[in-house]
Structure 1
Amino acid sequence: MKKYTYNTEVRQQLDIILKRSESDQQDVRTTVLDIIDRVKSEGDRALKDYEEKFDHCKLDSLKVTPEEIDRAFSETDPALIETIKRSAENIRNFHEHQKETTWTIHPKDGITLGQHITPIDRVGVYVPGGKAAYPSTVLMDTIPAVVAGVDTIVMVTPPDASGNINQNILCAAKIAGVTEIYKVGGAQAIAALAYGTETIAPVNKIVGPGNIFVATAKKEVFGKVAIDMIAGPSEVCVVADSTANPVYIAADLLSQAEHDEMAMPVLVTTDDKLADQVIAEIDRQIDTDLRRKAIAKASVTDHGFVFVCDNLDDAFELTNQIAPEHLELAIDNSEKYLDCVRNAGAIFLGMYSPEPLGDYYAGPNHTLPTSGTAKFSSPLGVYDFIKRSSIIQYDRDNLKAAADDITAFAYSEGLDAHAKSIERRFSNDA
């Protein structure tokens, strides 16, 4: 990990240090646009061809059958199924508190204003395959939609070379409430969700993480459908003082490093000795029996950072500039510093609230803003799966009282028909 003293020079060069500048992705975009165009014109045939090309799988049918789901349950460890159910219940309970309902106000007699809340009709959930299968992502991206009242939830995920979907993913999908499941991944899956094929009906919104081709496809179909966010590599930032345990911190940093070679583990500390202890502990832990050791080592080496600050004020200034996906406060009386955090996807307070608790079990969503976008965006939630319609009702007397103001506005903007829409209602009044 690269170690820095947080000073004026680092403040000015932070974006360069963190390598967050956008790279040229024109080649990826060209490939994605070609895939989208072919799916639009050829439908299912294009999807099957791309699955054979990219996932080395020859498919007769794209849709997962009930028998395949039943088989997944019969072949999955019952203890894991119960774990998934407990996690799902925690996620559901948390997201129930995010529900919104239609409301109205009555500023005066004869006037009703408000908001009408309705769920999105059809939502597509992309679940990655490839390097790893994440049933937790199925729960996190599906359950808020179920709580919101979405009628149809369509899941797409790439199959293996035998044409099968990971059984843990299928179990999680059934438990979470997914309506339809299709064996298709990559940019072609995003195109199918946005534009539809003979088998897959189009959706209104697409959520879920994926590789650079999936992220680019989501950018390209935005406007035809809504999307949740453009997810970048995973991040964790730990703010620690001298009371923190370096063994715990190293373990938490590695828990993000193993996601991806591009993942970014960051330590911000007021204790230079602790910084060195954590670096040494990472070196020790990374050489234990981690199955994804090579990935974690690449992440730590290329994208791992340690910043030593003079005080906690500087530490929070730095973390608010980073705006991390996950922020752990490994400091004494951590809850007292919550108001110091302005930009973070999820905040973990104290030494016994590690980031994996949020990934799997606690209940808050783990689909979070990355790459500094926590400065302006929020975790996935029930609010992402609803629409708000304004309610406006005036009776005749109240409209007449407001008529002069409305027509004055309309005429000032050169919109005569707007004004006459009001005036004609009262043209016969004495």
Structure 2
Amino acid sequence: MLRTIDLRATSLSPTALRDALPRPEIDVSVAAETAATLIDDVRTRGADALRDQAERLDGGAPDHVTATADELAAARAGLAPDVRDALERMIERVRAGSAAQVPPAAATTLAPGATVTQRWQPVERVGLYVPGGKAVYPSSVVMNVVAAQAAGVRSIAIASPPQRAFGGAVHPTVLGAAALLGVREVHAMGGAGAIGALAYGVESLGIERVDVITGPGNVYVAAAKRIVQSVVGIDMEAGPTEILVIADASADPDLVASDLVSQAEHDEMAASVLVTDDADLADRIAERVAARAAATRHADRVAIALAGPQSAIVLVDDLAAAAAVSNAYGPEHLEIQTADDEAVLADITNAGAIFLGAHSPVSLGDYLAGSNHVLPTGGQSAHAAGLGAHTFLRPQQIIRYDAPALAEVADAIVALSGAEDLPAHGEAVRARTT
């Protein structure tokens, strides 16, 4: 089911190593033309375009795009008690984790009377996308909303695809989660059209444009976010989910297998990768993966994901090589299950989130770890961070100099402005110091 890539006794350059690793056969650019057409349609026809797209591409046109206060209240009241309790626990933990990401203002005194203060200001309004394809994602509501609230964002809009089973409305569990968090603006719209509506606004529906769009989605959502990022900020272009597990002979084969299968159930493009220096362990894990994959509810979906080009067992010479493979891959989720997890962690540079030890599965991070589960995929962890309060914050510098402090640097400013042939810069200083 899982193919094997044997990198033992090889010496590959970083580029060659990246090329040797499993990846999904997906290209966001192929969806760009369709996404651009859908966005332009929403910009031109507004609500009519959203309804047409909902009927053709999602769960049917909703009676009304924006959920009413009564619908939100009913969805909140209708949450199953165990689900509501779990969501409230998740909210509490993610709120604590997100609050820790907000930096305090910091003032630097450079000389008497000369200070530069850095503060972090939230954006005014955000649009949060919650997917609704093969699964229901109230957890994504929590991850997106809590991070924005922790940053101090004042205006929050959620977009989620209409569901045919609920008359074209947003799934009630998604609505209920939004209501628990106090969100009053939830729209039944999905795909690239929803991204366009958030980026440019829809006047007839009272949807104002946002400053930042976050949240995962399919390839058309990713393409749409790429298109609109010239006018709004985005978190990342989220692709299929990924798990990479570094394991040695001390790891429990069944636990590792359970984690590889757990991520494969997301969709057929999900990537499950094992990196190990123990060929015998690899064989035992492969056996347990096959057994668990056959027994799980979404067996067909899991089988396709595990057999795809994005999933594999990678054999390496030692754990240092395993860390090098992981860094080259840059996984969304990295699990380390070894005899000395901290030693392996010391060699890790690129990962969206890192789960240490046998009792820290990715599923924990998906729900109740207190971390955020919206993470960079497709190797983006080499240059991008996961979603957090920082996603919605902008650092601003506040400069305050008194007259003596300005006079002390005036000659240097005049010299530099002359060197750059910008004499008026220096003259603006001289006007204050002579």
| TM-score (normalised: structure 1) | 0.95
Contact 1:127 1:209 in 2 (8 A): yes
Equivalent residue letter for 2:174: I
| Equivalent residue number for residue 406 of structure 1 | 413
Cα distance in 2 between the residues matched to 1:10 and 1:371: 23
Offset from partner CA, 1:140-178 (integer Å, 9 cap, x none): 111011111110110000111212221211121122342
Cα distance in 1 between the residues matched to 2:407 and 2:82: 68
Cα distance in 1 between the residues matched to 2:332 and 2:119: 32
Cα distance in 2 between the residues matched to 1:16 and 1:53: 38
2:346 to 326, 339, 342: 339
Is 1:301 aligned to 2:307, yes or no? yes
Aligned positions of 1:174-189 closer than 5 A: 174-189=179-194
Aligned positions of 1:230-241 closer than 5 A: 230-241=237-248
2:358 is paired with a residue whose SS is coil
| Equivalent residue number for residue 417 of structure 1 | 424
| Equivalent residue number for residue 107 of structure 2 | 104
Cα distance in 2 between the residues matched to 1:185 and 1:14: 37
Contact 2:131 2:216 in 1 (8 A): yes
**Could you list the runs of 5+ residues in structure 2 that have no partner in the other structure?**
none
Offset from partner CA, 1:265-285 (integer Å, 9 cap, x none): 111111110000111111111
Cα distance in 1 between the residues matched to 2:387 and 2:105: 21
Contact 2:331 2:377 in 1 (8 A): yes
- Displacement of 1:315 in angstroms is 1.1
Cα distance in 2 between the residues matched to 1:355 and 1:166: 25
Identity of aligned residues (%): 38
| Equivalent residue number for residue 215 of structure 1 | 222
Cα distance in 2 between the residues matched to 1:330 and 1:203: 42
Offset from partner CA, 1:84-139 (integer Å, 9 cap, x none): 11111111111111122222122222112111222111011000012111111111
**Deviates further, 345-354 or 58-67:** 58-67
Aligned positions of 1:143-292 closer than 5 A: 143-161=146-164, 162-198=167-203, 199=205, 200-288=207-295, 290-292=296-298
How many residue pairs match? The answer is 426
Equivalent residue letter for 1:202: R
Offset from partner CA, 1:37-63 (integer Å, 9 cap, x none): 121122222111211221252333211
1:106 is paired with a residue whose SS is strand
Is 1:6 aligned to 2:13, yes or no? no
Cα distance in 1 between the residues matched to 2:64 and 2:340: 56
- Displacement of 1:17 in angstroms is 3.9
Q: Which runs of 4+ in 1 moved over 6 A?
A: none
2:61 to 58, 61, 73: 58
Is 1:366 aligned to 2:367, yes or no? no
- Displacement of 1:416 in angstroms is 2.2
Cα distance in 2 between the residues matched to 1:400 and 1:178: 51
- Displacement of 1:73 in angstroms is 2.8
- Pairwise CA RMSD: 1.7
| TM-score (normalised: structure 2) | 0.94
Cα distance in 1 between the residues matched to 2:406 and 2:311: 62
2:87 to 81, 84, 87: 84
1:340 is paired with a residue whose SS is coil
